Structure 1
Amino acid sequence: MARGKRSRKFIMTVLLLLLLFLTVYFTPFKTALVFQYQNSGRVLAYIPVTKGDKFQIKYTHSIHLSDVIERYSVAEDQQIKLYAMSYEDFAVGMPENALEGERFEHKNGHYYISDMNRLFPFFDLRVGKVRANHILILAGHEYPMSRYLEPGTWVRIKIDRLNLWQQWKGVNIHE
């Protein structure tokens, strides 16, 4: 009889520990800038961020072949805020003026739009195959996206909380 109680106690303890492990393992806790495969939710790469962090995406425009820099920050409620951008030439897809409340300037051969307050839950990007050379810039460090993501891949970029499983499956760009 005592043996049966010990067995049940042991099994209950093992099940409780397993439940605790699974809860910890699958509970999202780390906020990150996440690169997902298309709109599947599958994490390809990520870099830890906190609210207020600023990052940039720099790339070579495919038509006029000059640098474009988009400046973002991590906003409330896991939103991404586009707050400024700069580029050298007007071409397909480049703004020719600022929206209301924004500032448009031309100086030293570059166009600047600042005071932007454009919020996105996510945005999609196709990692350049030929000349785009997309670079993520965070805290003064440059991370060429083609090092972490297959060129030509469509990625969804968003702020998300990751659990241990997702962190293990994706590539931490910062490491």
Structure 2
Amino acid sequence: MIGEDVHVKMCEVRSGSAPQVLRSTLGSCVGIGLLWRERDLCALAHCLLPESAVRAEQLSAKYVTDAIPSLLRLIGAEPSHYHQLEAVIAGGAYMMHHLRPALYGMIGELNTRMAQRLLAEAGIRVVHTDIGGTSGRQLSIHCETRQYVVRTFERIN
């Protein structure tokens, strides 16, 4: 099956429909995909940081705390629908060698923890995670079949 590639760039949130394939290439950033099989909808966010002190007014994925509400708004999901949604999380790798420990922790780990926490609080079932470690990933969501694929690639030092 070959679809139309839609590259979801850093800090972007996008929805798609058949025959599109939403793709995001991730290192310490986290990709959050939502699949709504009953409505043939899917969406993907590419998040840079875990949280912002100020909530975004428009659709945004710079922060995980903005991305999840943006994804839900983009596909038109209300709280009564959340039990129908499935989520996929990928990325959050440790991509940089630091001479000393990062002041606030590893950004990739913070990103993935925030995504998992917010999805759990909303009652959205996470069906797959491929997170952490030192490998980059590419998350692809095939909108026609609402299937996802996570491909791993090694960091080059």
What's the TM-score bracket when you normalise by the shorter of the two chains? under 0.3
Between structures 1 and 2, the one with greater strand share: 1
Q: TM-score, with normalisation over the residues of structure 1? A: 0.25
